[in-house]
Structure 1
Amino acid sequence: MSNRVFRITVRGSFDGLTDEQRAGLLAEAAQHDMLNATFTPEGHLTYDVAARPFFTFRFLAEGEAEEDILDATAHAELAAEAWLTERGYGFKRLTSQAQDLSLAPLGKRQRQAAARGNS
Structure 2
Amino acid sequence: MTTRTFRITVRGVFDQLTDAQRAELLAHAAEHDVLRAAFTPEGHLSYDLAARPAFTFRFSDTGEAEEDILPATERAQAAARAWLESRGYGFAKLRAQAEDLSLAPLGKRARREAAKHTG
TM-score strictly above 0.5? yes
Determine the structure 2 residue equivalent to 1:44: 44
Q: For 1:96 and 1:16, how far apart are their aligned partners in 2?
A: 21
CA distance in 1: counterparts of 2:38 and 2:25, whole angstroms: 19
Tell me what 1:54 maps to.
54
Give me the whole-angstrom Cα distance separating, in 1, the residues matched to 2:105 and 2:48.
31
Percentage identity across paired residues of the two chains: 68
Structure 1 segment 86-97 matched on structure 2, within 5 A: 86-97=86-97
> Counterpart of 1:32 in structure 2: which amino acid?
H
TM-score (norm 1): 0.98
Aligned residues: 119
Give the alignment of 1:80-119 within 5 angstroms: 80-119=80-119
* CA shift for structure 1 position 10: 0.2
Q: Give 2:58's aligned amino acid.
A: R
Hey, what's the Cα distance between the residues in 2 that align with 1:4 and 1:36?
Answer: 24
Report the RMSD for the aligned CA atoms in angstroms.
0.6
TM-score, normalised with respect to structure 2: 0.98
State the secondary structure of the residue aligned to 1:112. Answer: helix
The equivalent residue for 2:8 is 8
Residue 73 of structure 1, CA deviation: 0.2
* Aligned partner of residue 65 in structure 2, secondary structure: coil
Any gaps of 5 or more consecutive residues in structure 2? none
Extract structure 1 runs of 4+ deviating beyond 6 A: none
Mapped to 1, the partners of 2:113 and 2:51 lie a distance apart of 42
**Aligned twin of 1:17:** 17
Question: Which consecutive residues of structure 1, in runs of 5 or more, have no partner in the other structure?
Answer: none
SS in 2 for 1:2: coil
